[in-house]
A = this chain, B = another copy of it.
C-alpha cells in the first residue's frame, strides 16, 4: 500500500507491472488515470494548470483513506499518486491502482478512492489561459458521487 504526493510525472504501466510482478493471487487490477483536459471556457492563450496542495495533510489524509478502502474491500494492493505543481493539458494528474482477487472489489475500491480524492484531498486547481487566471470551483456532482459511500 503506497501513497505518493509528487511534482514528477508517473508511468502507469510501470507501476502496474511492479504491483503484479510475481503475484499469483491477484485476479483483477483496476487503474484510474486522471488527465488535464482542455479548459471548457478557454480563450486563445496557452493553457496551464497549477495544482496547489497542503503537503502535511495530503499525505496523512491519503494514508487514512487507503486504510479505509482496505477495510471495506479485500485488496491485495493499492497505490495512489497525486501530482502538484504546473501541468499542461494532456498531462497526468492522479493515478489510483487497486488489486484484488475479485474484480468487483478492484472496481469499487478504485471508484471510492477517486471520489474521495475529488472531495476531500486538499488540492486546489488554478487554471491559466493567456492573461486569465481562475480558481476552479468545487462541483456539487462530486459531493454527490462521494456521498454514495456514506453507509
Copies assembled:
2
Task: Give the contact stretch, choosing among A22-30, A78-86, A119-127.
Answer: A22-30
Majority DSSP secondary structure for residues of A touching B? mixed
State the CA gap A118–B107 with chains docked (Å). Answer: 15
Instruction: Kindly state the separation between the CA atoms of A104 and B107 in the bound complex, as whole angstroms.
Output: 11
Instruction: Tell me, in angstroms, the Cα distance from A14 to B36 when the chains sit together.
Output: 20
Give min CB distance, A42 to chain B, whole Å: 10
Beta-carbon contact of A13 and B24 below 8 Å = no
Chain B residues, CB < 8 A from A58: none
State how many angstroms separate the Cβ of A99 from the closest Cβ of chain B: 9
When chains A and B are docked, how far (Å) is the Cα of A26 from the Cα of B23? 31
A24 to B111, CA, bound (A): 22
User: Which chain B residue lies CB-closest to A102?
Assistant: B141
A77 to B33, CA, bound (A): 14
Residues of A within 8 A of B (CB): 11-14, 16-17, 20, 22-38, 89-90, 101, 103-104, 106-107, 110-111, 114, 118, 145
